[in-house]
Every structure is written in structure tokens, then in C-alpha cells.
Amino acid sequence: MGPAVTGTNGKTSISHWTARLLSALHHPCAAVGTMGCFYMGEKIPSPALTTPDAASTQDLFSNLYGRGCQAFCIEASSIGLVQGRLDGTAFHTAAFTNLTRDHLDYHGSMQAYEEAKALLFDWPGLKCAVINADDAAGCRLIEKTLARGVRTIACTLDAALQIEGCEMLAAGNIRAAHAGTAFDALWRGERFEIEAAVLGRFNVSNLLETAGIVLSLGIPARAVFGKLTELTPPAGRLQTVTSEGAPLAVVDYAHTPDALEKVLTALRETAEHRGGRLWCVFGAGGDRDPGKRPIMGRVAAELADVAVVTSDNPRTEEPAVIAQAVAEGAAPARDRRVVLDRREAIVSAVTEAAAADVVLIAGKGHEDYQEIQGVKHHFSDVEVVREAFNERRTRVGGKSA
């Protein structure tokens, strides 16, 4: 038995942080999801799906328990829930992050997508729900869980918000800090000062939900919030790559309009603090919801100084066709470019950007492949950024950091 996390964005960060937090508090826990299965810092072989099928899931849990694992935190994808991949699995706690456009190629409508996510909160034997109360779909879920009599922890960035019937977990006094972000966590009349190496208000929400999940399992608050400050982002989630005299490169999995908006908003503050421009190298996946492509372009145009449209797993589609749709949305950009070759796009951005600039490479995050015409070719954004730094050094000199 363990917690499950659903929602459009934030599932991976929350599941990994929950596993790390529980393990640090002497309750060994594994994280299962988009990046695979991780237990005590080790990657465990698992199916290449965010939510594996029911039989594979049970086999995986059996393997984990044999290694001394006491709990797991699994990402419950909307498609996995609809297809019954988690059937037969018991969950003590279900968490909901947010609902924004994604997977409409499968679900057909936002209503159907929301209904798929809500399936997790009808789970037999569910003891507690941890829900983002700053999200409209989250508020609807809160009504549902309260009506069912399920203990509900509502997480919010509005310290004044109160919802009858809920236990409130809030963040107040959110501010930039030397190591990332600082805030006050407010729980049951107590205030806990938190400073964590994460960027963006959306990550404060993710940290709150992580804490809410662990609190729901009966862990004392002082222990939970004391360890919360030690958490760092998983690979490919606002992952920074640095080199002396070079721009700050940030690799992130943001592949939905909402995720891209949140990441760019967080990095805008960083770019302004550095006195530089904000670049965005991004694309949209092939054989997936085409309606989001111009929206992705518009988000980048509105929030980045330089929008570089490139390829991101074109799959069976022509990269130029996808890029054109994205670029049309990015038409208002101050500086819009289309560079179909992803390696070339990253290298050109990193080598051209000024040392004070911030370059976001979005869409792939932890992935180590580029899928073209059904074939997965090795490709890592982080590796290419480091190659670009090497090339930059040959031009201007410098030392790697």
C-alpha cells in the first residue's frame, strides 16, 4: 500500500520527493512513474510506461518488497487509470496536482480527461486525499472526497484560504532565496520556515503536496518539514547545467502549455536577476494532440525573449509540419527562430547566448532519446548542452563548472 499521484504536471517531482522524504524518515519508499522505478538511489528495471499494467505493477512491487521497500509512490496517469493498469493495487493516499491541456488525442475532451483523473479518488479503501485547492478541478475533487467522507488535505498558496471540512496545508511569505525558494509552511496552527533548492511557485505547490502525502501517513510534522528543505529536483525537472562564462542552461520536461508557462515564469525572475535574456528551445511531440502546438508557441512568444522552435520526438510525423504549427503560434515573438535539428538548435542557442542569459531547453527533460519514424535514437539534452559548452569554450576560452 502506498500513495498515488495524478494530475497533468508535477507528478514526477512529487512522487520522487515523497519517496526520498519517506526513505529519509526511515520508511524505505520507491518512486514509480515517467522516469521509471527508483529505490534508494538505484534505478530498478521496470516497464517503459508512466503507469505500468496491473500484472507488471504487482511483479514490480513484489521485487521492491523483497529489497526491503516498505512503500511506493506511483504516478497514476489518466490513460493508466482508464485502462485499469492499477486494478488490484491498494492506495492509502491519493494526491491531485492540477488539470491542464494534455492527452486530448486519447481522451477527446477536457471533461473526459478530468473524469479519468477523478477515478483515483473513487478508489476502494482510500483513506486520504491530498489536493491542490488552487486548481479549479482540484476544488471539484475536494467536494467529491468530502462527500465520500474521505479525509482531505487541501494544499494552497493562499495562506488565508479556509475550506470547511478540509485540513489546510498552506504556504505563505513565498520569496526568492539564495538556494532557490523560501516560504512558510502553515499546518495545524504551526509555522515552519522552509528554504529549498527549487525554483518557481509551482514547485512550492509540489513541495506542499509532498509534505501533505507524508503527513497523511502519520509522520510527525516537525520531522516532515525538517527534511523537506533537503529535497532537490529530479533529473530533467528544472535541472541546471553550468559552465564558467556561459549562460545558465536549464533542462526541463515541460511539454504542455501550462508546464511551459510555469517554467518560463520561474526562469524570467532568474534571468532578470542575472541581467540577461531568457531563451526557450522547445517543440511539440508528433502523433500527439496537435491543438496544443500553436498554444505552446504563443506561451514561448509571450514569456521568452528568444523562441527557438525545434523537434521533440516527431515520431511518424514530418518535423517541419509540427514546427510550422508551433511557429505560427510564436509569431508575436520578439525573436523567433526555427531550427529543426534539435542538437543544432541547442548548440546555437547556448553558444550565441550571453553569459548573463538563461537558456531553457524544454520538452524532453530526463529522456535519452529522440523518436523519429518509430526508431528511438540516443539523444540527451543535458549531454548536448555540455557539448555546446565545450564548443563555446573553444571560441571564447573558459573553465567548466
pLDDT > 90? residue 229: yes
**CA–CA separation, 327 and 90 (whole Å):** 45
Question: Is pLDDT above 80 for 48?
Answer: no
CATH superfamily of 239-396: Mur ligase, C-terminal domain (3.90.190.20)
Place of cell 538511489: 41
Express each pLDDT in 118-135 by its tens digit. Answer: 999 999 999 999 999 999
β 239-241/248-252 pair status: antiparallel
Domains 2-228 and 239-396 share a fold: no
pLDDT at 320 over 50: yes
What CA–CA distance (Å, rounded) separates 247 from 245? 7
Per-residue pLDDT tens over the stretch 230-271: 999 999 999 999 999 999 999 999 999 999 999 999 999 899
The architecture (CATH level 2) of 2-228 comes to 3-Layer(aba) Sandwich (3.40)
pLDDT in tens, 177-213: 866 899 999 999 999 999 999 999 999 999 999 999 9
Distances in whole angstroms, Cα of residue 346 to Cα of each of 90, 238, 355: 43, 16, 15
59 φ, ψ (degrees, to nearest 5): -65, -40
Whether the CB-CB separation of 93 and 115 falls below 8 Å is answered with no
Between CA 6 and CA 236, with CA 113 as vertex, the angle to 5 degrees is 45
**What pLDDT score does 101 carry?**
78
The helix/strand/coil state of 331 is coil
Which element (helix H / strand E) includes 114?
helix 110-118
> What is the DSSP secondary structure assignment for residue 109, as one 8-state letter?
S
Mean residue pLDDT of the chain comes to 94
- pLDDT at res. 47: 78
- For residue 164, pLDDT beyond 90: yes
Residue 385 pLDDT: 98
Q: What is the pLDDT of residue 1?
A: 65
Q: Where are the domains of the chain?
A: 2-228, 239-396
Q: What is the pLDDT of residue 401?
A: 43
Give the pairing type, strands 358-362 and 336-338.
unpaired
Question: In this model, does residue 398 exceed pLDDT 70?
Answer: no
